[in-house]
């Protein structure tokens, strides 16, 4: 399995801050890396796919970068609505597709 190590597991920031989450893959996954947002009691929502492509309707304050084994997810100008848990997901290997452990973002 390709292990996805996401950090930090928890972060607290203020409205307007820039927040950065990292995801490290145990093997080269090229750019096959997605980011999801999950609010309490809700299904995940796709934010970014293929490392840095913003999905339709996602605010531009969200961004992603990286390739190979190291990836970064950034929220610029953190808003109260961004309180959620964020997950990375690799799909370079389908045996299996794996998620990071999640980062809970609070304000």
Partner 1 sequence: QLLLQESGPGLVKPSETLSLTCTVSGASMRSVDHFWGWVRQPPGRGLEWLGSIYFAGNAYSNPSLKDRLTLSVDPSQNRFSMTLYSVGAADTAIYYCARVRRRAARPGPHDFWGPGTQVTVSS
Which residues of the chain form contacts with partner 1 (CB under 8 A)? 32, 34, 36, 38, 42-46, 49-50, 55, 87, 89, 91, 94-102
Smallest gap from Cβ 45 to partner 1, in A, equals 7
Task: Identify which of 13, 5, 3 has the alpha carbon closest to the alpha carbon of residue 76.
Answer: 13
Nearer to partner 1, 68 or 102 (CB): 102
Nearer to partner 1, 28 or 50 (CB): 50
């Amino acid at each position: 399995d390709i292990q996805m190590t996401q950090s930090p597991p928890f972060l607290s920031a203020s409205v307007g801050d820039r927040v950065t989450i990292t995801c490290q893959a145990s093997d080269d996954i090229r750019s096959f890396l997605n980011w999801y947002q999950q609010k309490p009691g809700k299904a995940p929502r796709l934010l970014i796919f293929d490392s840095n492509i913003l999905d339709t309707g996602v605010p531009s304050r969200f961004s992603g970068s990286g390739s190979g084994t190291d990836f970064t997810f950034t929220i610029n100008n953190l808003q109260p609505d961004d309180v959620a848990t964020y997950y990375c997901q690799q799909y370079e290997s389908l045996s299996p597709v794996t998620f990071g452990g999640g980062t809970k973002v609070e304000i």
